């Protein structure tokens, strides 16, 4: 390991702190994440070059040495491929009408009963968050909730529904390896397979979902319909929804169903599939996106427009910066700072790390946190089964439930709440969300320590 002078490490640490602060103030700065990270990335790379930290990397490909600038190999391209492929796949999938079909079918199955509706929407939020991504799940369920709850003349309960759904997106985001970006980053760094991730995380997701829905029904006074007249009226109102309205072609709909199942199976079995195993999850995500795009081969470019380029730019910039932080020994310094936590033992250590991760994630983006901690923990050669990995995964995901700026899906929920003209300030969100977040964190700590750490 090369020697880095302490003042250089301090300069880079200040830049990292400034970056995290800027991301926390993203809304106030009126700047996109990619621009913030890009700005710091340009400065960090230049300073790294000035201090002699950045040297081109030579990689041997097919026996030929290829020189890359330092910012190319620093990026985890598999993570980028997973996010890009999944985004396009999900976007084309939404055109099949499958997601709206499921959402409306469940609405009709509830027969307009508020409690049944809360349970169905809650479960749907978790499953959609796991299979799609938190933001898309929140958009689908949130907009449906806005339309259906208003139609059922229960606008007074709309806020409760939307908040419970927002808080469940981050629970659903824990279900699979590709459900959220911190999962992908940590899972990749720890070497946790898709199947192992699901097996380890799903019991917690089931318990946390049930507890969140139960608490939501209690706190927001969501009760079953009282009499037959109310039941008949509610059933007639939801019967007006047509689940087939969004299906433009039944053939494409069934193709979408098949592809979605195939996608999940392929992701789950990626570590066992011969040939595919070597290519990784990013290859699977991109392959499925390409196959879906064949339906729109002449107009595929409009799906490229729908890709969240800000998010991808943010990742790429972030990976570059964190790589530079590693070269500047900032990560080593943070690792030293974390040493007392790790020294607390296998019970207290993971609990403190989980709580700290959640606290940091509640006020700033959880992705830099996951990326930094993934690098540090990977440097410690921890086994994939170590509870520390899971502490970061649970903390980074659930921390987003404490404040409205804690995660992208809670931000979307707040946007939908404001679109529905419901008043909800930052403080009011925190006041309502804290009991849920506290319950979910307590359950998570207990789960990591008693189940995963034993």
* Closer residue to another protein, CB minimum distance, 129 or 136: 136
- Least spacing, CB of residue 322 vs another protein, in Å: 29
Rounded Cα distance between 138 and 82, Å, is 20
Identify which of residues 76 and 91 has a Cβ nearer to another protein in the complex: 91
Instruction: State the residues that interact with another protein by CB under 8 A.
Output: 100, 103-104, 136, 139-140, 142-144, 146-148, 151, 236, 239-243, 245-246, 306, 412, 415-416, 419
Task: Give dist(CA 212, CA 157) in Å, integer.
Answer: 16
Alpha carbons 180 and 159: distance in angstroms, whole number: 25
Residue with tokens 């790294």: 48
Q: Which is nearer to another protein, 103 or 293 (CB)?
A: 103
CA distances from 63 to 59, 74, 388 (A): 9, 21, 38
CA distance 429 to 202: 27
Cβ-based nearer residue to another protein, 47 or 235:
235
Nearest approach, Cβ of residue 85 and another protein (Å): 18
**CB of residue 412 to another protein, shortest distance in Å:** 7
Minimum CB separation from another protein for residue 181, in Å? 18
Estimate the crossing angle of helix 194-219 against helix 387-398, to 10 degrees.
40
To another protein, the closest distance from the beta carbon of 445 in angstroms equals: 34
Query: Min. distance of Cβ 303 from another protein in angstroms?
Result: 13
b/e sequence 202-212, b meaning 16+ C-beta within 10 Å:
eebbebbbebb
Closest approach of another protein to the CB of residue 230, in Å: 18
Contact 110, 120 (CB under 8 A): yes
CA distance linking residue 298 with residue 255, whole number of Å = 19
> Would you state the structure tokens that stand for residue 52, as one six-digit string?
């002699």
CB of 91 to another protein, least distance (A): 9
- Across 18-83, the runs of DSSP E, i.e. the strands, are 57-61, 64-68
What is d(CA 426, CA 416) in angstroms, rounded to the nearest whole number?
Answer: 14
Rounded to a whole number of angstroms, the minimum distance from the CB of residue 362 to another protein is 24
Nearer to another protein, 24 or 257 (CB): 257
Stated length of the chain: 454
Structure tokens given for 13: 């640490």
Q: Which is nearer to another protein, 166 or 320 (CB)?
A: 166
Alpha-carbon dihedral angle through residues 388, 389, 392, 396, given to the nearest 10 degrees: -160
By beta-carbon proximity to another protein, the closer residue of 146 and 289 is 146
Nearer to another protein, 264 or 415 (CB): 415
The single residue listed with the structure tokens 């006020």 is 363
150: its two tokens: 């208003």
Query: What is d(CA 61, CA 280) in angstroms, rounded to the nearest whole number?
Result: 18
Residues 6+ apart with CB under 8 A from 208: 171, 174, 440, 443, 444
Min dist CB 237 to another protein, Å, is 9
Beta strand extents in 78-173 (DSSP E only): none
In the bound state with another protein, the residue whose beta carbon lies nearer, of 105 and 221, is 105
Between 420 and 452, whose beta carbon lies closer to another protein?
A: 420
Q: Which is nearer to another protein, 103 or 163 (CB)?
A: 103
**Shortest Cβ 144–another protein spacing (Å):** 5
C-alpha dist (Å) from residue 444 to 4, 180, 334, 375, 438: 38, 17, 24, 23, 10
Residues 6+ apart with CB under 8 A from 19: 36, 37, 40, 321, 368
């Amino acid at each position: 390991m090369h020697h880095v002078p302490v003042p250089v490490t301090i300069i880079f640490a200040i830049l990292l702190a400034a970056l995290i602060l800027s991301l926390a103030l993203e809304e106030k700065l009126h700047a996109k994440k990619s621009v913030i990270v890009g700005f710091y990335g340009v400065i960090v790379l230049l300073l790294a070059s000035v201090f002699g930290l950045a040297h081109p990397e030579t990689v041997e490909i097919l026996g030929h040495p290829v020189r890359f600038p330092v910012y190319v190999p620093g990026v985890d391209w598999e993570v980028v491929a997973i996010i890009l492929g999944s985004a396009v796949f999900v976007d084309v999938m939404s055109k099949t009408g499958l997601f709206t079909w499921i959402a409306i079918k469940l609405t009709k199955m509830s027969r307009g009963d508020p409690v049944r509706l809360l349970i169905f929407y809650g479960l749907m939020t978790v499953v959609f968050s796991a299979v799609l991504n938190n933001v898309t799940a929140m958009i689908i369920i949130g907009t449906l909730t806005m339309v259906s709850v208003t139609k059922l003349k229960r606008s007074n309960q709309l806020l409760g529904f939307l908040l419970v759904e927002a808080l469940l997106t981050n629970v659903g985001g824990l279900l699979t390896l590709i459900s959220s970006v911190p999962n992908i980053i940590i899972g990749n760094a720890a070497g946790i397979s898709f199947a192992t991730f699901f097996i380890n995380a799903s019991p917690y997701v089931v318990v946390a979902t049930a507890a969140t829905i139960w608490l939501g029904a209690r706190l927001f006074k969501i009760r079953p319909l009282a009499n037959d007249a109310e039941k008949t009226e509610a059933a007639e109102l939801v019967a007006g929804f047509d689940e087939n309205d969004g299906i433009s072609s039944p053939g494409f709909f069934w193709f979408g169903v098949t592809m979605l199942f195939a996608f999940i199976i392929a992701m789950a079995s990626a570590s066992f599939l011969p040939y595919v195993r070597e290519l990784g999850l990013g290859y699977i995500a991109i392959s499925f996106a390409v196959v879906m795009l064949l339906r729109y081969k002449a107009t595929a470019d409009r799906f490229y427009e729908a890709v969240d380029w800000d998010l991808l730019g943010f990742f790429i910039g972030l990976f570059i910066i964190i790589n530079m932080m590693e070269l500047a020994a900032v990560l080593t310094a943070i690792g030293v700072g974390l040493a007392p936590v790790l020294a607390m033992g296998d019970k207290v250590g993971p609990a403190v790390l989980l709580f700290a991760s959640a606290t940091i994630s509640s006020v700033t983006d959880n992705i830099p946190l996951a990326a930094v901690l993934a690098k540090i923990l990977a440097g410690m050669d921890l086994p994939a089964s170590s509870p520390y990995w899971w502490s970061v995964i649970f903390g980074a995901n659930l921390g987003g439930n404490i404040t409205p700026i804690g995660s992208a899906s809670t931000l979307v929920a707040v946007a939908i709440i404001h679109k529905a003209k419901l008043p909800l300030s930052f403080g009011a969100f925190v006041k309502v969300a804290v009991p849920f977040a506290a319950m979910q964190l307590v359950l998570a700590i207990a789960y990591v320590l008693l189940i995963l750490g034993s």
